[in-house]
A and B are shown apart, each in its own frame.
Chain A
Amino acid sequence: MQNKKTIFVCCGTGCQASGSMKIYQTMQKIISKLDLDVEVVADIKKTGCHGLCQKGPLVHITPQEITYIHVKTTDVQEIIERSIIKDEVIDRLLYFDKQQNAKIQSKNDWSFEKKQFRIALRHCGCIANDSIDDYIAKGGYQALEKVLKTMTPQEVIDEIRKSSLRGRGGGGFLTGLKWSFAAKAQGDIKYVICNGDEGDPGAFMDRSIMEGDPHTVLEGMAICGYAIGANRAFLYIRDEYGLAVENMKKAIADAHARGVMGQNIFGSGFAFDAEVVRGGGAFVCGEETSLIHSIEGSTGEPTSKPPFPANQGLWGKPTIINNVETWANVPVIISKGADWFASIGSEKSKGTKVFALVGKINNTGLVEVPMGIKLREIIFDIGGGIEKKRKFKAVQTGGPSGGCIPESKLDLPIDYDSLIAEGSMMGSGGMIVIDDRTCMVEFARYYLKFLSEESCGKCVPCREGIKSMLKILNDICEGKGQEGDIELLEEIGSMVKANSLCGLGKTAPNPVLSNIKNFRDEFEAHIKDKRCPAGVCKNLTKLYIDQEACIGCGLCAKSCPTAAISGEKKQPHVLDEAKCINCNSCRERCAVDAIRVH
């Protein structure tokens, strides 16, 4: 009798941070020592990200389809005894789905998964992230074989053009069109680059793909190499992404050993080789011309376009540079066809997009959804709504230089064009959910500060414009805002957007401008009334305890670092404004929302 099971332990960076490697090792140790009548063939696989990082470490068992969350090393023995040797389900380790109000056995049935549609993340969590065999077993490298054996380079480009795939790194340029420029460009040496310099705070889809499914990126790049006539590729990976670098390097070595990379691939005569370059550490290196200069060994600063990299890129040669997620879509388009791909999504944005759903949301993680899905569906159906049942205020899309979309636009179908029309952008797919305790002025200030540090400083509008806007926003948050500040921010902001050299500057004022547009009253409250309605800006906040709401539990008084709160047990407490330093600790602790902002 044989009992064959596979245990998938998520070993993405998120789950590793919560100790998944120890779980993996403990599992191996226990399984290897098993001495039973039943032959247990348990295959333990280290996988990439499953998506719901907040509940990690995640362990998934097939064929029963059981998913355990928050697994600890002390749970391993029990999991093996009950779910591997026997077929029992450990109720305690299952995910409680608030929307369905029930414990759910398999991740496939989580509300988090229901509206998702996975193309780029199709293998993440389902295959061992260090195994070319697993990738091949899932149909990997068949797309490359198909193009090399049955398609001309022009046919490959036509297919990608027909799919209407747009760049997933943020710009949204038509991938097939870009490839056609490089294919037409003169020159016997051409290059393919993977932009893996994911730098947006809170975004981790590219990292997860490189960690969890490195071969799909390599396969996509090789297909492009064949289409445009390039034989060499570079993967520029953010230096902090150690696991992505490690997995990608192993994937390249394995692909060589299997003959899907190197000379004469699939007997076609086509040669293709790739190497990993570790990023130089600047956010601006995600901009394509800066990235190219960084690979060349120069300072990572942008240069003006034209010339576009497709004509004159790395070392002056025609170069196609696409983002990780874009590459991950390519093999699927070739395998399943452009028509299939173009049937998914909205009118002008086809396929899916991966979003990193973070912030004040219940289900933090990676989600992949069809283009055109409504924001409401992502935040409330997949994301499970706002943390601590608070009120949704806005969602920032597109990373630090994206704008904030307010509640009134929750039914906006999400695609490249709708987000730009709202003063935001797709960016690489960051999605930061903001609740009513976030100050929109301070939020804009925070991102502008980030950008002031990360602007390369080459062009004056970006460097000096951001600096001046930041000075004004600092003043506003400190209560030193002046009449006319809003208009000045708008004037400088629109100049920075129009006059800056590269995409960083052209989008940097977005958080400020979109917040002024959608939350102008908050700016005015800061400037005119010297009041921060969200209670965040310390100089502009005065807290008080609502005497009717307070139940006298005393939690606020315990959490106060300056002993500003006093009161009898079970009696309404009072807050001494003179002692209060507006740290908001009491407000966070209060279970009945009795701490209010003047």
Chain B
Amino acid sequence: MQIIINGKTYAANPGEKILDVARRNGIEIPTLCHSEALPGLASCRLCMVEVHENGRTQYVASCTYPVADGMEVFTNSEMIAARRKILLALYNLIAPDSARIKGLLARYHVEPFDRLEADPDSKCILCGLCVKACEELGTNAISTLNRGTKKKIGTAFNEPAADCIGCGSCAIICPTQAIEMTEAEGNRTIWEKTFELLRCRDCGEYFTTPESLEHVRKKLGETVGNIEELQLCNYCKTKRAATRLKDGLHLDEYLDSDK
């Protein structure tokens, strides 16, 4: 299967989305709500592209629109570029301090609106990535509340979430750093709830909460091999895996033979 993006032909696989093919081939399409781990939100609408298919022209979100053989895609047509500018200017109203948004404004030469005032206190663009991360990785502790212009992200009844395990997935995935997560003296505070932090067994750095470790252990269930490995920070986990790989491949011998 082949699709044409901006005049060039690229190979594509059935079921793939336009964005997948574009990104694989280094074609730039901006996104805010897209994560390869949690695809399909389609809420930021920045990845809109123009598609010519079966004699029809359509404007679609490339992150969710499936490829079809022979489809022609334009990522930067006049219409797409003009609307992207307007949309980015709207983003600037709701997250004026975000580095990511500032970068996009500069990248696409967007002039902020003179006529409309940005809200200096606003950070969240309500893309929904945090909610999806909590749903998939965590415990559904947060969700969107209300609707329309009153919509926000929060915990049930705005109270410290009983279900939150302090894993921080929501804060890490947020494209505009809108979720406050602070760490001090072996404690992590998020969604107005404070957790004790565990130290990595190898390096001794604080790295996660006992609640999230327990959550992962439960989720993995029987399949968990080395419980000890769960108690390592990402850096040490990677280090151990690399060491194992090196040992398994007997890389030392290759390295030694160079001598």
Contacts and interface: CB of A to CB of B under 8 A. Distances in A.
Contact of B151 (A457, A485, A498): A457
Report, nearest first, the 9 A-B pairs whose CB atoms are least far apart. A457-B151, A495-B86, A304-B42, A495-B83, A304-B64, A499-B45, A464-B90, A455-B148, A459-B43
A457 B44 contact: no
A291 to B, nearest CB: 15
B45 A455 contact: no
A305 to B, nearest CB: 9
Contacts of B66: 306
B90 A461 contact: yes
B149 A463 contact: yes
A492 B86 CA distance: 6
Given A458-B43, A482-B115, A499-B83, A468 B148 contact: no
A211 B230 CA distance: 61
A499 B116 contact: no
Contacts of A303: 40, 42
Interface residues of B, number: 35
Interface in B92-151: 93-94, 113, 115-116, 125-128, 143-144, 146-151
Interface string A446-464: 0000001111111111011
Contact of A453 (B79, B93, B148): B148
A464 B115 contact: no
B61 A457 contact: no
A36 to B, nearest CB: 61
B87 interface: yes
A454 B147 contact: yes
A367 to B, nearest CB: 32
- Mostly, the A contact residues are helix
Interface in A306-322: 306
Contact of B48 (A299, A454, A499): A499
Given A306-B65, A465-B90, A498-B59, A453 B149 contact: yes
Contact of A460 (B45, B65, B146): B45
Nearest to A488: B115
Contacts, number: 105
Contacts of B94: 460, 464
Contacts of B82: 491, 495
B115 A495 contact: no
B91 interface: yes
Contacts of A455: 147-149
Interface of A: 282, 284, 299, 301, 303-304, 306, 452-461, 463-468, 471-472, 482, 484-485, 488, 491-492, 494-495, 498-501
A461 to B, nearest CB: 5
Interface of B: 40, 42-45, 48, 59, 61, 64-66, 79, 82-83, 86-87, 90-91, 93-94, 113, 115-116, 125-128, 143-144, 146-151
A494 B83 contact: yes
B126 A463 contact: yes
Given A460-B125, A488-B115, A498-B79, A454 B42 contact: no
Nearest to A307: B66
Nearest to B66: A306
Nearest to B144: A299
A466 B83 CA distance: 15
A457 B87 contact: no
A471 B113 CA distance: 13
Nearest to A484: B115
Contacts of B149: 452-453, 455, 457, 463, 466-467
A292 to B, nearest CB: 16
Contacts of B125: 460
A498 B144 contact: no
Contact of A468 (B79, B116, B146, B150): B116
A274 B116 CA distance: 50
